[in-house]
Amino acid sequence: MAENYSVLMAVYYREKPQYLKIAIQSMLNQTESPNEFIIVKDGPLSEELDSVINGFVKKYPGLFTLIVNKTNMGLGPALRKGVEQARNEYIARMDSDDYSVPERCEKQLKLFQEDCKLGMVGSYEAEFINTKENIVAVHKVPEQDEEIRKFMRRRCAILHPTVVFKKNDVIRAGNYQEESIFAEYEDYDLFARMIFDTNVKCYNIQESLYHIRTSDDFYERRGGLAYAKTVLRFKWNLFIKHDMLFLDFCISGVGQAFVCILPNKLRKIIYKIFLRGE
């Protein structure tokens, strides 16, 4: 018997309406259909974005749950609200400008049925520019739980928008933080707590079930002094919690902070050579 699941997506005003439409439709086209689609409007949206959302709400009565934030709270706090209000145990994350292949959720939910101890299932993600067919890199992550735990001590081993996780396991680990203490690291923070603090079992499907939109801006957002400081603060927090060794902090934290302050062109090359796989 198929499992019911909720899709969880946050949208804010800078998103492009055409991208949002593709993202939502890709989840509606799943071979295993969701019975709830949660959209958190993180602050006021443009008329065009509201029009896209309202069109889907009208076309699929009873499917969509809309949560409206009066101001932009940030991704983590927005998703926290969505998790709390989800009516299903299984929640599939989806970003508002990407694309999920039709079999994504069916393949992920099947693994939960086969192993009741699993709390989170992710996959590879294909990075594309402009159209989903124009794949420029594939972000690969470890497969088995033991490999994931080891990898997490230096880099995040779960790709955030690819996951399906259990609501109870997310809540038990403290959910996304109510305030964005580690902006841009909401996912790593949550997943580290799930894996190290509450011992959630994880698995990554070794294929690209998710296509993530990328551009030069993608790498620019991962650079700058402020981002480098966030990296160091977050990785130091993992060290003092004993989730990583001091050597891990030096290699992962200091190393990544150094990459953050490099010119964008050089940082892009490093990401593609060392952090991605073709």
Mean pLDDT by groups of 10 residues along the chain of 278 residues? 87 96 98 98 97 98 97 94 98 97 98 97 95 91 97 94 98 89 84 96 98 77 74 82 81 76 70 56
pLDDT for residue 227: 76
pLDDT for residue 85: 97
Give exposure, 55-90, as e/b (b: 16+ Cβ within 10 Å).
Answer: ebbeeeeeebbebebeebbbbbbbbbbbbeebebeb
pLDDT for residue 277: 46
pLDDT for residue 240: 83
Give the sign of the dihedral formed by CA 246, CA 251, CA 252, CA 255. Answer: positive
The CATH number of 5-214 is which of 3.50.50.60, 3.40.50.300, 3.90.550.10, 3.40.50.1100?
A: 3.90.550.10
Q: Domain ranges for the chain, please list them.
A: 5-214, 219-278
pLDDT for residue 257: 76
